[in-house]
Amino acid sequence: MSFELILVIVTAVTGVIAYVDRLVWRPKREKALATEKEPILIEYARSLFPVFLVVLILRSFVIEPFRIPSGSMYPTLEIGDFIAVSKFSYGIKLPVTQTKIIPVGEPERGDVVVFSYPKDPEVDYIKRIVGLPGDKISYIGRIVFVNDKPIGQQVKGVYLGNDSGAVMNGADLVSETMDNDHRYDILLDMDKISRDMDTITVPEGHYFVMGDNRDHSNDSRFWGFVPERNLKGKAFGIWMNWDNGIHLNRLGKGIE
């Protein structure tokens, strides 16, 4: 059972108890000849319901925190980064069912997104959107082609990471530029055999995603497309990093 579903259930139960108490049980206690002590269950439900409700609203419709557990998004995101994800960037969705009730915006190429892994929806993944619905995508010689045009690349030098990022030291640090002028850095590990991919077309209502650590990422090249309903939101900032201690240099960084 997902945390989101548990939060919805707990909020609903405490809300119902508080509501029934206000309409039925409390008036009966007030009319009693002797003062009745308020049951502890009702006391806790009435006190905790507003807290659960606020958390549910913020987490479902505004911002949700996530922690980066792997190195598939180096150099953009490092292991231990705690990121903030905008839940309304791609529309307001109901919790649990993820039914869109208010359209707001649409994903764009280059967006870093959190989504439910299509092979196991209980697991959250974070990757970068490379292909939109209808796009033709191929990956040849470590270059991404979108609609038969290569994404611009410029080698910046050798990557020298700090702390957890040191595992990728020596990889090529490359700047990529999407056709919408969205620029970001990726890593290419020339010591690892690259897997080319022939041209495929992204189906309607789906997205093609890749990790920035191109040769160390389990992404759409291997398991397919991300349905729109699986998108949880757009990652926009790092608010903390904890990996065997707090790394202050990561705090407050934006996500390109």
As annotated, the active-site residues are 72, 127
* Residues 146/136, Cβ–Cβ less than 8 Å: yes
The type of residue at 71 is: G
Provide the 3-class DSSP secondary structure of residue 66.
strand
Count the residues in the chain: 256
Rg (CA), the chain: 23
* Cis ω for the linkage preceding 103 (within 30 of 0): no
133, with CB counted inside 10 A (0-12, 13-18, 19+), is middle
Nearest to 56 by CA among 124, 2, 7: 7
Q: Where are the alpha helices (DSSP H) in 112-178?
A: none
